Structure 1
Amino acid sequence: MSCSKPSIRPARPFFSSGPCVKRPGWSPEVLKEALLGRSHRAPEGRAKLKEVITRSKSLLAIPEEWRVGIVPASDTGAVEMILWALGGQRGVDVLSFESFSGTWAKDLKDELKLEDLRVLSAPYGQLPDLAQVNWSRDVVLTWNGTTSGVCIPNSESIPAQHDGVVICDATSAAFAMDLPWDRLDIVTWSWQKALGGEAAHGMVALSPRAVERLEQGAVRPLPKIFRLTNKKGLIEAIFEGDTINTPSMLCVEDALDSLKWAEQIGGLPALKKRAQKNLSVVTPWVERSDWVAFLSDDPATRSCTSICLKIIAPWFEDLSEEKRSSAVKYMTKLIADEGAGYDLASYRDAPAGLRIWGGATVEAEDIIALLPWLDWAIEQTKEEFSS
């Protein structure tokens, strides 16, 4: 196959998986009402932080009795504060099938040194056998593998009744997929995934069962930025807008803009529809291609946000691992140099390949415009790397 250089470029050639592209129509002007030069603990600051919590809870249809709060250090900080607070109270099963879920497994094993820990693993592109999970234990799972393009297929994967707490890292699933709140206990996410928000802030949602477990107390000392409880129990102020540390009010304003946009276009159903459309325009192109395939072989577990692709051209598969990585860098640089697409390489720990962010802030028309550039770039890369 010989491809000439395409003439049409994406209007917004931004396909990074975090921070993700801003919502359509965004400009710095939307930040003009940011509460800058003021304390986040002033009434106005608290009001804006509380508004992020309220709008997030409403948009995601989180049950009324759940607590939602803003916490430090993005989704990573949100997950870690829960692992450090609850890890070791009872036995833990953790699903490990891509980079970040692998990090949670490693931290539970090597940093927290849990004695009663089971790591259920699967290679990139696959899920562990969910039938092997013991739901009487605490369970740590990533709903959507940002670096593998694999997601939990449905809510029935988790029993409605379970003795342990289910801790769900949902950072690239929130605002794009249905989360079964009646089957989860702790859910974390960040503003920079799905809504295109700025970095450094995470969010955590706690069911009443999770609050009860947290109030039992951690089995180890916790640093200040991990503390959701004190001697009196849950620190309720955190869930009313009193953050643990100083937040960026510029980032808060940006998050509010994204949440308002999501509400205006139709809420979670509209966000999901946009993400699913983005996957739907990639699927037929992959099916027609002789050089690329989804990293996830099972359509039921295929992510609509982190669309991860593997290169299956024989000449590419014949390369060493180091050469494959170099070939992907060469290919994605060709596209970036043309201004046709940025940040398209797979995550550094994942198999060498491509990743297209397909969350709701991405326009399907931009992905459609990108795909011919991928066909063109792989031909140029073949000429450079095949013997």
Structure 2
Amino acid sequence: MKPTVKPANPNFSSGPCTKRPGYNLSALNIDSLGRSHRSNIGKERLKKAIDETSRLLNLPQGYKVGIVPGSDTGAMEMAMWSLLGQRPVDVFAWESFGSGWATDITKQLHLKDARTFIADYGQLPDFAQANPEHDIIFTWNGTTSGVKIDNADWISDDRSGLTICDATSAVFAMDIDWHKIDVATFSWQKVLGGEGAHGMLILSPNAVKRLESYTPAWPLPKVFRLTSKGKLIDGIFKGATINTPSMLCVEDYLDALAWIDSIGGVHAAIEKSQANLQVMAEYVEQNNWIDFLAKNTDICSNTSVCFQLKANDEQINTLIQLLADEGVAFDIGAYKDAPSGLRIWCGATVVKSDLIALLPWLSWAYQQATA
């Protein structure tokens, strides 16, 4: 029978992701709106966003956080174009974004000493191949595959190369060992449900040392430049952004950070996300027509949870449209380059009761679509 109880919030998109529970636009501080981002209040709000990010993530001493243009993509491109080329590179990819970084390295930067280790959707590559003398590129969580790394033990503590990690759907949702990471990037619109267009760049002291001692062979556009006269442009990491940010988006991000703080910090957010994944895991166990795209539970993402169905593409599209038409679930189709199926966001901003309410509708829509 057709269910009657709908999720209070039907937004299960994997990016931009749903706002935090209780979000209200009118609650944002708007004192900085209409002011220069270089004014005292503008710089103060930007610096607060940086400082709160560092505090809540409990970053190691000496790590720097900057706000950069172009979302997570811009932050990753900035890191790769500014840092790579001094050493050989090992690229690990198992979904579309990781594969995109491999393409940039081999076909745009034309790095000759680049090795790529690619796994199919649902699996991980062989991290034992990582050479600690090489720079290493990888995603912490494959947003389009629903597969995450289960640990960072494969990264050497005695490495001489840099580790550059796209962590956009992992930061604030997964337990990241920051001592294993030299460069991390993420965007506000993922785990925290913030607004788009702004990226976050986290640098270790070793990454800063590389920036100040190495000049790439290729020219860098202005929005990628992190150094001037051989020194780090430190203002980027204190609120003096490269280009003009949206102060409204900054205030929205600060609201999301305050919410993380109010629920008990990153560990509480991780617990919420894992509890949401458990709801889906129990559903998968009870229904033989749906399964995780991830090949084993240890590597199953607790944010961008991807599913494969016993259904053809047309039936899956019908299921997705039925749920959208009913106002039950929006934007839950698999990523365009991923295998056909569903992708349901389970980060901390998703309320567990909404996932529970969604499940009977999933069953109903599947029955309707495959009848």
Alpha-carbon separation, structure 1, partners of 2:223 and 2:324: 38
Alpha-carbon separation, structure 1, partners of 2:72 and 2:183: 12
The 8 Å contact of residues 319 and 368 in structure 2, kept in 1 or not, is answered as yes
Match of 2:298 in 1: 300
Asked whether 1:375 is paired with 2:363, we answer yes
Q: In structure 2, what residue type is equivalent to 1:211?
A: V
CA separation of 1:34 and 1:140: change in aligned 2, threshold 3 A = farther
Equivalent of 1:167 in 164, 167, 177:
164
Match of 1:69 in 2: 66
Q: How big is the shift at 1:327?
A: 2.7
Match of 2:93 in 1: 96
Question: Tell me, what secondary structure is at the counterpart of 1:307?
Answer: strand
Match of 2:352 in 1: 364
CA separation of 1:34 and 1:248: change in aligned 2, threshold 3 A = farther
Deviations 1:11-66 (A, max 9, x none): 01110011100000001112242511110000100000000000000111111211
Equivalent of 1:259 in 251, 257, 263:
257
The 8 Å contact of residues 161 and 183 in structure 1, kept in 2 or not, is answered as no
Match of 1:40 in 2: 37
Question: Tell me, what secondary structure is at the counterpart of 1:48?
Answer: helix
Q: In structure 1, what residue type is equivalent to 2:207?
A: A
Question: Tell me, what secondary structure is at the counterpart of 1:168?
Answer: strand
Alpha-carbon separation, structure 2, partners of 1:168 and 1:44: 32
Equivalent of 2:134 in 111, 132, 137:
137
Alpha-carbon separation, structure 2, partners of 1:331 and 1:54: 44
- After superposition, residues 1-387 of structure 1 pair within 5 angstroms as 4-215=1-212, 216-311=214-309, 313=310, 316=311, 319=312, 324=313, 326-383=314-371
Corresponding pairs, count: 370
TM-score normalised according to structure 2 size: 0.98
Alpha-carbon separation, structure 2, partners of 1:375 and 1:99: 29
Deviations 1:78-112 (A, max 9, x none): 00011111222110000111011011011111111
Q: How big is the shift at 1:219?
A: 2.3
Deviations 1:123-177 (A, max 9, x none): 0000001111212100001000000011111131322221100001100000011
Q: In structure 2, what residue type is equivalent to 1:241?
A: G
Q: How big is the shift at 1:292?
A: 0.5
TM-score normalised according to structure 1 size: 0.94
Q: List alignment gaps of at least 5 residues for structure 2.
A: none
Alpha-carbon separation, structure 2, partners of 1:202 and 1:363: 25
Alpha-carbon separation, structure 2, partners of 1:344 and 1:197: 19
**RMSD of aligned alpha carbons:** 1.0
Q: List alignment gaps of at least 5 residues for structure 1.
A: none
Alpha-carbon separation, structure 2, partners of 1:284 and 1:351: 22
The 8 Å contact of residues 93 and 118 in structure 1, kept in 2 or not, is answered as yes
Q: In structure 2, what residue type is equivalent to 1:233?
A: K
Deviations 1:295-349 (A, max 9, x none): 00211111100111011x2xx2xx4xxxx1x332221110010011111101010
Question: Tell me, what secondary structure is at the counterpart of 2:86?
Answer: coil
Alpha-carbon separation, structure 1, partners of 2:216 and 2:41: 33
Deviations 1:220-264 (A, max 9, x none): 110011111111410001000000000000000000000001101
CA separation of 1:43 and 1:226: change in aligned 2, threshold 3 A = same
Q: Percent identity?
A: 52
